[in-house]
């Protein structure tokens, strides 16, 4: 019922926002920067770090390798105002339309994203982003519902058609792109979700996330929170967070 730092599980949402707003294209190479990067000297000693180097920093590869730098750049290309508007549209800061009370999701502890670094960190699910797991599942549902976010409900009803919490959350084209790329995150041997590919007879798509919960970038005693948002591509109405 609580909201948590989503880490890399939030990257597909940022990617879908980037595609929907036209801030990025799936084929655009945002440049390889090694394992650390900062926009310019105004960031001081702060750098975004990532774990893997790879060729061609395009969306599919960035999701497969879970590249923090790519998604930090994507967030900056989206921009503060557009990011806040899109997250508001996706239900951030709102009560979930659900029978049981849930904590709402947020993108800032204050009224808005306060700095360029916070915006960049938000791109890979850090910063001050907190997401309710049920809300995250609803957002992922947009990837296999032509960009429409399903409204959650508790009691299963045979044959019930989905009702939508947010229609046109993403463009159908953006949703399809993310849907296909998340298959690659599991099927590609380099994908962070490839361990799930061993589930016999089931075709899966999804995104892992490891969120750091610590007081500063230098904090070595912080905790980590693990996520895996996954769905069965043969039965795309079935998803698990």
**Considering only CA atoms, which of 187, 149, 185 is closest in space to residue 169?**
149
How is residue 169 written in tokens? 């959350």
Q: Is 148 exposed, middle or buried (0-12, 13-18, 19+ CB in 10 A)?
A: buried
Residues known to be catalytic: 8
**CA–CA distance, 40 with 76 (Å, rounded to integer):** 13
Can you name the residues that pair with 150 across neighbouring β-strands? 164
Under a CB-based contact definition with an 8 Å cutoff, are residues 78 and 86 in contact? yes
Total number of residues shown for the chain:
241
Return the beta strands (E) in 16-153 as ranges: 36-37, 48-49, 149-150
Q: Is beta strand 204-213 parallel, antiparallel or unpaired with respect to 164-166?
A: unpaired
DSSP summary character for residue 131: B
Compute the C-alpha angle 175/53/213, nearest 5°. 70
User: Under a CB-based contact definition with an 8 Å cutoff, are residues 99 and 156 in contact?
Assistant: no
How many C-beta atoms lie closer than 10 Å to residue 77's C-beta? 17
Question: Distance (Å, rounded) from C-alpha 55 to C-alpha 115?
Answer: 30
């Amino acid at each position: 019922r609580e909201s948590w730092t989503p880490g890399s599980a939030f990257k597909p949402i940022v990617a879908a926002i980037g595609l929907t707003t036209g801030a990025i294209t799936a084929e655009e190479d945002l440049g390889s920067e090694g394992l650390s990067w900062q926009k310019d000297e105004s960031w001081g000693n702060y750098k975004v770090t990532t774990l893997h180097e790879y060729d061609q920093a395009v969306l599919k590869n960035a999701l497969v390798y879970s590249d923090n730098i790519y998604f930090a750049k994507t967030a900056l290309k989206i921009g503060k105002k557009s990011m806040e508007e899109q997250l508001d549209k996706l239900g951030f800061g709102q009560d979930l339309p659900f029978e049981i009370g849930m904590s709402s999701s947020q993108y800032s502890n204050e009224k808005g994203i306060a700095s360029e670094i916070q915006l960049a960190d938000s791109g890979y699910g850090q910063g001050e982003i907190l997401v309710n797991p049920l809300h995250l599942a609803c957002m992922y549902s947009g990837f296999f519902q032509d960009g429409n976010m399903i409204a959650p409900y508790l009691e299963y009803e045979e044959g019930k058609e989905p009702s939508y919490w947010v229609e046109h959350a993403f463009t159908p084209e953006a949703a399809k792109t993310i849907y296909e790329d998340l298959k690659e995150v599991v099927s590609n041997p380099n994908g962070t979700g490839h361990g799930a590919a061993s589930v016999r007879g089931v075709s899966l798509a999804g995104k892992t996330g490891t969120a750091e919960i610590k007081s500063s970038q230098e904090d070595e005693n912080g905790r980590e929170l693990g996520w895996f948002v996954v769905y069965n591509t043969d039965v795309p109405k079935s998803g698990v967070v």
